Amino acid sequence: MANDPGPRRHSDRSSGAVTLQQVATRAGVSIATASRALHGGHGRVVNEELRTRVLAAAAELNYVSNAPAQALARARTSVVGLMVHDVADPYFGAIATGVMRAAAEYDLMVMLTASFREQQLELDYLVRLRNQRARAIVLAGSGFTDGEFTERLAERLAGFVEDGGRVACVGDHGVATDTVALDNRGGAEQAVAHLWELGHRRIGVIAGPLGLVTVRDRLDGVRRALERRGAPLPAERVVEADFTRAGGRAAALALLARQPELTAVFALNDGMAAGALAALRDELGLAVPGRVSVVGFDDLPYAADLHPALTTVRLPLEKAGVRALELIVDDRDARGTRRIVELESELTVRSSTGPAPAP
Amino acid sequence: MANDPGPRRHSDRSSGAVTLQQVATRAGVSIATASRALHGGHGRVVNEELRTRVLAAAAELNYVSNAPAQALARARTSVVGLMVHDVADPYFGAIATGVMRAAAEYDLMVMLTASFREQQLELDYLVRLRNQRARAIVLAGSGFTDGEFTERLAERLAGFVEDGGRVACVGDHGVATDTVALDNRGGAEQAVAHLWELGHRRIGVIAGPLGLVTVRDRLDGVRRALERRGAPLPAERVVEADFTRAGGRAAALALLARQPELTAVFALNDGMAAGALAALRDELGLAVPGRVSVVGFDDLPYAADLHPALTTVRLPLEKAGVRALELIVDDRDARGTRRIVELESELTVRSSTGPAPAP
């Protein structure tokens, strides 16, 4: 890496003692210069005049250098934290692949955390990554719509950034960090447009957990697309489900029991779509797509192998992982400006969608 | 954690200066006791007599305590390295899930490395995990049959262990570490027995990369099972393939072109089985299982959703991850004894296998 981010201030702060920042302020230099003057370290040498000023300030303030803390601070710089929800989910596998490939290129090591969608665990891991002196964090699980959680998340991320850490989000987490934006709304709109063109007017939605920003955005896309066509989505055509195959199966059964006249089911991820396909085909004996069309979201590697092969919205997940890591590494224009990289979605049409059956 | 593993010796060694080990030897105490006497630290207090002996030895040898190194050594203790080949492969996703869940329970952080099957990268990552002061390493990618590589791997692992690190392998890596053994041979034998009972006598094998221990063992199981039945496996019925869907597709086409009389194909992982199913069904127009039966290996989550649902050998991968982490954490009986935890495989029969067609 080109830049040594300089010493962190964990230990100075928590001890309540004189901080390096105070020494730097007194000497009228940057904290990096103060650090180099006092401790040496990588890179540029400090000129004699500045060095004298810093040493004098340190003496006046009775500053005690914390060598282990500095050693630790330097050790921090090659680790990137990657925070996901569920490592067994191929969605995260794809993002992680991008992050890992890019990390290898930049000679960084990746520390992986899986919160299994427990908010408190996610906050705890942030603290631990800070304690581990992670140089940067990629938040790759979906954000939560819970405002209180998001506030606490923002606070902890701010603390991490204050310490010199970098943060990039994959998808919207409700925090103003550098972000790789995924086109969840647009992708959902494309899927609805496709179904609409095939004549479907009674479309049910298998949503994932409604507390996830990803689900909220995809559902927004569906609503918007249907409203634009003069056919607002009735509440009873949406079922909340666990983001898994089992969740999709149960939701499909519930949805069709309640709304047997549906001609299409849009599952907001491929795992749920796989479960819905199995339920429709094997348990309800409904032809797909003859009687019911099914659409998924994400285009995971197995989508083409489902039966019938799944029509789904493709997100460039591996690329999202690569770009997130690049945002973290390349800080040329990062000072004060939030950067958003927008990635596009694309509908992949396969065999699980067809013309709506005649009424 | 119950035991503080004590300071590591990286810095002492590399500097060529007097080491803590030399001080401990001179004082006739363990290195942990020497460390506690000189630096304080967690846990038990050293009695005054021992303390005096250690201080005297340190003075005689002119030992210089390396505080940052010790701080770093202590920082090491909550990180476990998890080494896999490919994070996008659900096989590793399942193992990683087990490791992550157990790590969370023991309050450990996981550093993930993905070598994408590059041997040198795997060796490099070992060094980096050592430099990162990882407390332990779980090797979860398959071992390689390459003896030279395995020797270098063993050397690097030994260095890591000498430093007080712990190592556990998932599957056989040709190194004498604690190991969670996967029943690759036995699983393959079960699959062959199942096909044999269905009347299949002309069975083709889609092997993964032959340089992987996992592939060698699965193939051994096939050979052994067929030999026992008086029908040794001809070389031309085995095709090497990339461990992916695309690899399985190409191999199935090659195999059937060469041996059109085959009535069954055994793909040595589920990804390749998915590709083989697609090739047989969509490209060759062969009925599965009417004309050709297909068996996979691993029982990944999507196996039940393939078309037809895949008969495959189930390995308890998540459990393997949990047990590997437990081996690392629980060192009650680890001194000098290699521990091997054997996990069983189980054939899961679904719809992709049926009676061999009449000749």
Residue B307: list chain A partners with CB under 8 A: 305-308
Which of B64, B87, B135 is most worth mutating to test chain A (most A CB atoms within 10 A of its CB)? B87
B246 domain residue, yes or no: yes
Residue B171 shares a structural domain with residue B213: no
Residue A302 shares a structural domain with residue A338: no
How far, in Å, CA of B358 to CA of B20, rounded?
75
For A94, the closest of B88, B109, B133 (CB atoms) is B88
Asked if residue A5 has a cis previous peptide bond (ω within 30° of 0), the answer is no
Q: What is the mean pLDDT of chain B?
A: 87
Nearest-Cα residue of chain A relative to residue B300: A88
Residue A173 shares a structural domain with residue A190: no
Which 8-state DSSP code applies to residue B283? I
Total length of chain B: 359
pLDDT at A4: 39
Residue with tokens 């099972």: B225
**Chain B: nearest CA to A244, how far in angstroms?**
10
Do the chains contact at B304 and A278, CB–CB below 8 Å? yes
Strands lying side by side in the sheet with B346-348: B238-240, B203-207, B264-267, B293-298, B311-314, B346-348
Judged against a pLDDT cut of 90, whether residue A11 lies above it is answered with no
| Least confident piece of the model among B55-64, B288-297, B347-356 | B55-64
pLDDT at A65: 61
pLDDT over 70, % of chain B: 87
Judged against a pLDDT cut of 50, whether residue A209 lies above it is answered with yes
pLDDT at A100: 94
B161 domain residue, yes or no: yes
Helices A270-278 & A245-258, crossing angle to 10 degrees? 60
DSSP string, A74-85: HHGGGEEEEEES
**Chain A: nearest CA to B234, how far in angstroms?**
30
The two three-digit tokens of residue B88, written as one number: 């996008």
A-contacting residues in B 188-247 (Cβ below 8 Å):
245
Sign of the C-alpha dihedral computed for residues A66, A68, A71 and A72 taken in this order: negative
pLDDT tens, position by position, A68-102: 454 444 444 689 999 999 999 999 999 999 999 99
Report the b/e string of A135-150 with b at 16+ CB within 10 A: bbbbbbbbbbbeeebb
Residue A139 near chain B (CB below 8 Å): no
ipTM of model over 0.90: no
B1 domain residue, yes or no: no
A359 domain residue, yes or no: no
Residue B224 shares a structural domain with residue B104: no
**Chain B: nearest CA to A82, how far in angstroms?**
9
Q: Which burial class, exposed, middle or buried, applies to A29 when counting CB atoms under 10 A from its CB (0-12, 13-18, 19+)?
A: buried
For A87, the closest of B72, B93, B301 (CB atoms) is B93
Residue B308 shares a structural domain with residue B336: no
How far, in Å, CA of B288 to CA of B27, rounded?
73
Contacts of A245 by beta carbon, 8 Å cutoff, 6+ apart: A271, A272, A274, A275, A278, B301, B305
Strands lying side by side in the sheet with A346-348: A238-240, A203-207, A264-267, A293-298, A311-314, A346-348
Residue A278: list chain B partners with CB under 8 A: 304-305
pLDDT at A2: 37
CATH label of the domain that carries residue B58:
1.10.260.40
**Chain B: nearest CA to A161, how far in angstroms?**
21
Q: What is the mean pLDDT of residues A9-31?
A: 63
Residue A283 near chain B (CB below 8 Å): no
| Least confident piece of the model among A324-333, B97-106, B287-296 | A324-333
Which of B305, B306, B310, B352 is most worth mutating to test chain A (most A CB atoms within 10 A of its CB)? B305
Q: What is the mean pLDDT of residues B141-146?
A: 92
- Which domain range does residue B63 map to? 10-73
pLDDT tens, position by position, A309-320: 999 999 999 999
pLDDT at B9: 31
**Chain A: nearest CA to B72, how far in angstroms?**
6
B355 domain residue, yes or no: no
Please name every residue paired with B206 in a beta bridge, in sequence order, or none if there are none: B239, B267
| Least confident piece of the model among A38-47, A187-196, B98-107, B176-185 | A38-47
For B93, the closest of A67, A82, A88 (CB atoms) is A88
Question: At A229, which amino acid appears?
Answer: R
Alpha carbons within 13 angstroms on the beta-carbon side of residue A67 total 7
Contact A2, A42 (CB under 8 A): no
Residue B46 shares a structural domain with residue B107: no
Q: What is the mean pLDDT of residues A260-286?
A: 97
Q: B31, B54, B73 — which closes off a domain? A: B73
pLDDT at B39: 66
Contact B53, B30 (CB under 8 A): no
**Chain B: nearest CA to A101, how far in angstroms?**
8
Residue with tokens 């490395």: B113
Alpha helices in chain B (DSSP H): 10-15, 20-27, 31-39, 48-61, 67-76, 90-105, 119-131, 147-162, 184-197, 213-228, 245-258, 270-278, 317-329
SS3 A354: coil
Residue A241 shares a structural domain with residue A265: yes
Residue B300 shares a structural domain with residue B223: yes
The pairing of strands B238-240 and B203-207 is parallel
pLDDT at A350: 98
Where residue A245 falls among pLDDT bands split at 50, 70, 90? very high
pLDDT at A16: 46
Residue B323 shares a structural domain with residue B310: no
Residue B91 shares a structural domain with residue B198: no
Where residue A52 falls among pLDDT bands split at 50, 70, 90? confident
Do the chains contact at A305 and B111, CB–CB below 8 Å? no
Residue B205 shares a structural domain with residue B307: yes
Residue B307 near chain A (CB below 8 Å): yes
pLDDT tens, position by position, B58-95: 777 777 665 445 444 444 468 999 999 999 999 999 99
Do the chains contact at B110 and A111, CB–CB below 8 Å? yes
Domain count, chain B: 3
Asked if residue A289 has a cis previous peptide bond (ω within 30° of 0), the answer is yes
Query: Which stretch of DSSP H or E encloses residue A70?
Result: helix A67-75
Dmax (CA) for chain B in angstroms is: 87
For residue B327, count other CB atoms closer than 10 A to its CB: 24
CATH label of the domain that carries residue B217:
3.40.50.2300
A349 domain residue, yes or no: no
Do the chains contact at B305 and A113, CB–CB below 8 Å? no
pLDDT at B74: 46
Where residue B37 falls among pLDDT bands split at 50, 70, 90? confident
Residue B127 near chain A (CB below 8 Å): no
Does residue B83 come out as left (phi exceeding 0), alpha (psi in the -120 to 50 range) or beta?
beta
Number of alpha helices (DSSP H) and beta strands (DSSP E) in chain B? 13, 12
How far, in Å, CA of A100 to CA of A318, rounded?
10
What torsion do the CA atoms of B98, B103, B109, B115 make, to the nearest 10 degrees?
A: -30
Q: Which burial class, exposed, middle or buried, applies to A112 when counting CB atoms under 10 A from its CB (0-12, 13-18, 19+)?
A: buried
Where residue A13 falls among pLDDT bands split at 50, 70, 90? very low
Contact B139, B170 (CB under 8 A): yes
| Least confident piece of the model among A254-263, B109-118, B219-228, B248-257 | B109-118
A351 domain residue, yes or no: no
Cα–Cα distance list, A186 to A190, A217, A354, B209, B340 (Å): 6, 9, 21, 40, 51
Strands lying side by side in the sheet with B109-114: A340-343, A178-182, A166-170, A136-139, A79-84, A109-114, B109-114, B79-84, B136-139, B166-170, B178-182, B340-343
pLDDT over 70, % of chain A: 87
The two three-digit tokens of residue A1, written as one number: 């890496």
Q: Which burial class, exposed, middle or buried, applies to B116 when counting CB atoms under 10 A from its CB (0-12, 13-18, 19+)?
A: middle
The pairing of strands B109-114 and A109-114 is antiparallel
Alpha helices in A171-329 (DSSP H): 184-197, 213-228, 245-258, 270-278, 317-329
Judged against a pLDDT cut of 80, whether residue B315 lies above it is answered with yes
Residue A255 shares a structural domain with residue A135: no
Judged against a pLDDT cut of 50, whether residue A325 lies above it is answered with yes
A10 domain residue, yes or no: no
pLDDT at A17: 58
pLDDT tens, position by position, B177-186: 999 999 999 9
pLDDT at B44: 55
For B128, the closest of A68, A88, A109 (CB atoms) is A109
**Chain B: nearest CA to A295, how far in angstroms?**
15
Judged against a pLDDT cut of 80, whether residue A327 lies above it is answered with yes
